[in-house]
Amino acid sequence: MTTRTRTSPTPEPAEKPVDSLGRPLHDLRISVTDRCNFRCTYCMPKEVFGRAYKFLGRDELLTFEEITRLARIFVSLGVVKVRLTGGEPTVRRDLPKLIGMLREIDGLRDLTLTTNGSRLRELAPALKASGLHRATVSLDSLDDATFRAMNDADFPVSLVLDGIEAAREAGFSPVKINVVVKRGVNEDGIVDIVRRFQGPDYIVRFIEYMDVGTTNGWRMDDVVPAAEIVSRLSEHYLLKPLEPAYRGEVARRFELPDGGEVGIIASVTQPFCGDCTRARLSADGKLYTCLFAFRGHDLRTLLRSDKSDEEITGFLRGTWAKRDDRYSELRTESTPGSPPKVEMSYIGG
């Protein structure tokens, strides 16, 4: 496919938009692919995302130039943090090239990546050299059998641990470790993970198991509440609460006695919709204003129909102004008759 790329300077600063609940636009998560080399049971269950599953074609994906153009426009509207996600972002070819392009955007202060860590030993030096600021690695268990069962791709935990070490060696310090906690599966390893990643080189985040999408079989009984996670950790560590670093920060953060940090993301039991400042861009160019959204707004068509930056900016401004999402505050065990929510593998976590 031949795509006409319109180059233009960064849009002039303008009044930053807020949504209908007074929330500004601060963070942008960009999915660069819907593919992944894992089949984590809470995200891409193999029963759904099997060999017959139809992933996006190459022509459907946003090009690096299109991603960069949109990111530049988002930054003009107030975004200061961009996180690259997937699927698994490191399976997108030439990812360091995209990072280098994004790094040149004036006003972008934080450029980060969330990965399963499977390719970090190979890619960490190039990711750092290209301008990536921070790396987050998903690691749900230190127990190899549990880890293999959760990723459902028979991938050993030792290789992810090696990838984390490669990221640290490349200069990503602290490396953030994300742990999705599911009842009866991996909650017994919470303390072990904190013990393994103590100190200033790492930050640990525990995430309540969420009902993203409709294919992971989520039940409230499978959720390990944040309060229980804190209680388990408090039996071993004196946790000192930390103030939020900025409005919209989703983690409740605690300082450990050795100066390390642990945090809890409690979307289910302690919703933070009131301060949510995130927008999400899918790999095929749809804008989602909530992780639990039912539909997205098509930006790819705008990009490929020769719309100007000013026209796209106006569309984004108007879309954000109408935003009223607060799914986690309204969540129920099930909502009969509701349309299916977008899958996590499509827009990142």
Rounded to the nearest 5 degrees, what angle is found at the Cα of 18, between the Cα atoms of 17 and 19? 125
The answer to the question of residue 3 being in a domain is no
The answer to the question of residue 135 being in a domain is yes
Total of domains in the chain: 1
What is the distance between the alpha carbons of residues 185 and 163, in angstroms, rounded to a whole number?
23
| pLDDT at residue number 270 | 80
The answer to the question of residue 185 being in a domain is yes
**CATH number, domain with residue 252:** 3.20.20.70
Is the Cβ–Cβ distance between 206 and 263 less than 8 Å? yes
Residue 167, classified by CB atoms within 10 Å of its CB into exposed (0-12), middle (13-18) or buried (19+), is buried
| pLDDT at residue number 337 | 42
* Of 138, 146, 71, 142, nearest in space to 110 by CA: 71
| pLDDT at residue number 242 | 93
| pLDDT at residue number 220 | 82
Domain that holds residue 48: 27-347
Is the Cβ–Cβ distance between 294 and 342 less than 8 Å? yes
The answer to the question of residue 8 being in a domain is no
The answer to the question of residue 16 being in a domain is no
| pLDDT at residue number 248 | 65
The answer to the question of residue 297 being in a domain is yes
| pLDDT at residue number 244 | 84
Parts of the chain with a pLDDT under 50: 1-13, 332-337
Tokens 């499977």 found at: 118
| pLDDT at residue number 334 | 46
| pLDDT at residue number 1 | 44
The answer to the question of residue 111 being in a domain is yes
The answer to the question of residue 13 being in a domain is no
